[in-house]
Every structure is written in C-alpha cells, then in structure tokens.
C-alpha cells in the first residue's frame, strides 16, 4: 500500500477508492485515530478526577460523536442547536455542557432535562437565576489571559468577549446571592496554544477565582491544545501541558482543603488529523512566464475555510493513479469558488499572501488529498456559496471498511426553504 504523506492516514489506494465509490469532494474520518486521541486525552494528568469533553463544534457529525462518546468522552456544546444535535445522537443530557454566546429559547427545558449550563455573561447568569432559582450552575470567567496563533483564535484576555471579566466577580457573587444559586463549576478557556507555562498561569488565575467561590467542585480549563497538521509542526504534549496544572490543583488542595475535579474540552485535538478531504483536480492553468501555475480543485472554501480565514496550513498531496510516475512542480492550489480569496495555499499565517507548494505534476481527474481537515472544516465552511452542495462524509472503520455517514447534499435540499411570493410569478 502506498502512503500519501506523513500527516495523512489514507493510502493512495484508499483515496482513489473513495473517489470512485463516493465521488468528490468527500470528507473521510478515521475511527482508529479518533479512538487513540480520546484515550490520550483521558490520560491527562489529574490528581482528583477528570472529565474530558469533546468540543463538538469542531466536527459535529453524529458518527464522530458516537465514536468519541463510546470511548468515554462527554460533550461540550456551543449552542442550543448543538445540544439538541448531541441529544439526537444518543448522548445523555447529563453528559452535555452548554457554554454559548447566547442561551437558547428552550433553556428551561434543557435545564429540566439535566443539561449543564455555563453562564458566560452577567446577563446569562441572571437568566439562569430567574429560570432556576436555587439551581446548580457553572460560570465562565475570563481570567485576563489569552493564547493563540492569531487574535482570531485567542478567546481569553481583554480582546475576547467570551466569559465574565475577572474583575466583575463581585457582581457574580451578588447575582448568586440574589437567586440563591449554587456555583459548582468554574470554566475558563484561553484559546489555542501549546505553552505549558501559559496553561499553568491560566490554571493559577482560575484557582484564585475558585478560592472565592466555596461551592465550586470542578474547574474546567477549556481546550485549544495545538495540533501539528503539517509535517514538522509542533503539537501540544498533553502530559507536559497537564503536569503543571495537576501541580496547581494539588497546591490548591493543600492551601484550601478542597480537592477540585478537572475538566478539559478539546475539539481540534481529537479530530484534526483524523480527518482528510478527498477531492479531484478540476483544471490546471497558468498566468504565463513570471506568473503562477494553479491547480484548481472541485473543492474549496465551501469545504475548508481555514486557509482563507487564518492563513492556516494543511498538507496537500496530488495522488496520480497508483503505479504512475511523474515529476514535481511548484503550484498554487485554489478552490472552485468564484472568489479570489478561495486559496488553499496561502502564506503561513497570512491569508492575504500566497505560497506555492511543490507537488506532483497534476492531471485533470487526479485525486487530491488535503490532510488535517477533521476539525473546523466540514463544520465551519462557507456551505452553499456559489450554490455548491455540502460534501459527503465517510467513516473509515477500524477494520478498513468505509461507511457513508453523510450523503452529499442535493440542489433540492439547498432550495427546500426558499419561496417566491406570488406577485413575482404572475
């Protein structure tokens, strides 16, 4: 079997089989890698107990949720819709925690079911108090510290709207008293990063807040553990990141006598490299001497927005028919949208820049595999832009079998909610 690249789990034979069986573009998720990552996360250092949650916004496919839930993960939901999606997948309500920018209209129903809810603002905390006085709640605090490779991935510190700013704790305590609430969970999330010292500082800041909330039994430090998608790109070592956090929890227990349980809720960590996008070469063009050579795909920002949004880098491989030998060249890889920003090989960290890749000489119809697309790709794409349908999704089971877990969308499904007023059809 011929491997495609260092950071892609598919073989050339599998990629061509997927193109033939399911068409392109198609996302493929690897069950074995999902299960491995789940077990790594469940081994995160913790002196007094751990709950590992999957941030389902990264990839909310029902099959992916079930694979990770069966490994022992709970769920972090970012909207009421995600809560209902998880419930329909079979996740028990008590294993779901809602941490959202806006609370859903059926919040009282979700609370009655037993779904956990974090208050991410003073307004949300008051909403929870009015609906369920004397209830058990969580609060998300912004500890004043952030991390991430860009401002768009930094969800802590003064530039982030997520959570209650740490100096507003007196107002939290006032609302707690007014509604006789029991704040049992303290939540914080600083963004995507891999520096253990930053994680330790975040834990320390969070525990300083926990010390002022005597009913807190659990501290949730969020996710954001960096994953290396490209060959040679550094990834977070969870043991190294977790060791100083465990030390902080032990120090807190010695100082206060309170042994707090730990929660983490990664998304990217579980699914990023367990997903690949299989697409095809639609065209090959150039802009003459001194210009560029372009590989046009039958996929693009309608499947993977991260390069256009962040200047994110993904491994890309042109896969000729098995047994075919070709040379290499330097190419820009672009998507199928009528949009100048639909570029899959931007300059690293700069979506405005361009960076060629050395790839196998392409032919129209060749398979192309884009790795590291399990997280924030199918879930976060510009779906239906240019009226392109939503891509199919396939699960590669541990026995090597392939299972369609999302059918390719049809034009009728895209149009199903549209209507034209009668006066326009007369």
Active site positions, annotated:
338
Q: Report the greatest alpha carbon distance in the chain.
A: 78
SS (H, E, C) 120-173: CCHHHHHHHHHHCCCCEEEEEEECCCCECCCHHHECCCCCCCCCEEHHHHHHHH
For residue 169, which of 154, 183, 155, 156 has the smallest C-alpha distance?
183
How far apart, in whole angstroms, are the C-alpha atoms of residue 289 and residue 272? 38
Estimate the share of the chain in helix, then strand, then coil, as percent rounded to the nearest 5: 35, 25, 40
- The β-bridge relationship of strands 116-119 and 136-142 is parallel
Strand segments, DSSP code E, in 24-70 are 26-30, 50-55
In terms of DSSP H, where are the helices of 215-271? 238-256, 268-271
The CA-atom distances, in angstroms, between 33 and each of 223, 270, 276, 396 are 18, 8, 12, 10
CB of 324 closer than 8 Å to CB of 314: no
The count of C-alpha atoms lying within 13 angstroms of the C-alpha of 234, restricted to the half-sphere facing its C-beta, is 8
Cα-to-chain-centroid distance, residue 242: 20
Q: How far is CA 302 from CA 323, 341, 379, in A?
A: 31, 12, 10
Beta strands in 335-406 (DSSP E): 346-347, 350-354, 357-360, 367-371, 392-396, 402-406
Angle separating helix axes 122-131 and 169-179, nearest 10 degrees: 10
């Amino acid at each position: 079997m011929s491997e495609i690249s260092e950071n892609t789990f598919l073989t050339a034979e599998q990629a061509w089989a997927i193109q033939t069986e399911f068409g392109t573009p198609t996302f493929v998720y690897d069950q074995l890698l999902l299960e491995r990552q789940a077990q790594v996360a469940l081994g995160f250092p913790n002196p007094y107990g751990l709950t590992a949650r999957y941030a389902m916004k990264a990839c909310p496919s029902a099959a992916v949720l079930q694979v990770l839930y069966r490994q022992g993960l709970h769920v972090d939901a970012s909207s009421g819709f995600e809560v209902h999606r998880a419930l329909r997948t079979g996740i028990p309500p008590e294993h779901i925690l809602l941490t959202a920018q806006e609370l859903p209209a059926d919040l009282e129903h979700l609370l009655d079911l037993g779904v956990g809810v974090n208050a991410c603002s003073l307004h949300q905390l008051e909403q929870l108090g009015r609906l369920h006085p004397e209830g058990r709640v969580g609060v998300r605090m912004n500890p004043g510290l952030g991390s991430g490779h860009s401002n768009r991935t930094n969800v802590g510190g003064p530039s982030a709207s997520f959570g209650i700013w740490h100096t507003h704790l007196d107002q939290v305590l006032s609302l707690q008293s007014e509604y006789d609430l029991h704040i049992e969970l303290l939540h914080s999330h600083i963004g995507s990063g891999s520096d253990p010292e930053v994680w330790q500082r975040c834990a320390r800041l969070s525990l300083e807040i926990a010390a002022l909330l005597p009913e807190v039994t659990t501290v949730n430090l969020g996710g954001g553990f960096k994953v290396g998608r490209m060959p040679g790109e550094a990834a977070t070592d969870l043991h190294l990141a977790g060791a100083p956090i465990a030390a902080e929890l032990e120090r807190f227990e010695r100082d206060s006598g309170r042994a707090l349980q730990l929660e983490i809720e990664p998304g990217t960590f579980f699914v990023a490299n367990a997903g690949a996008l299989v697409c095809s070469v639609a065209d090959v063009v150039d802009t003459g001497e001194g210009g560029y050579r372009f590989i046009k795909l039958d996929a693009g920002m309608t499947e993977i927005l991260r390069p256009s949004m962040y200047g994110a880098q993904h491994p890309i491989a042109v896969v000729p028919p098995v047994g075919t030998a070709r040379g290499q060249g330097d190419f820009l890889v672009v998507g199928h949208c009528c949009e100048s920003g639909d570029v899959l090989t931007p300059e690293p960290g700069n979506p405005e820049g361009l960076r060629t890749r050395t790839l196998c000489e392409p032919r129209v119809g060749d398979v192309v595999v884009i790795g590291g697309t399990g997280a924030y790709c199918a879930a976060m794409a510009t779906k239906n832009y240019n009226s392109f349908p939503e891509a199919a999704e396939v699960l590669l089971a541990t026995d090597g079998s392939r299972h369609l877990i999302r059918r390719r969308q049809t034009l009728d499904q895209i149009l199903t909610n549209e209507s034209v007023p009668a006066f326009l059809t007369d």
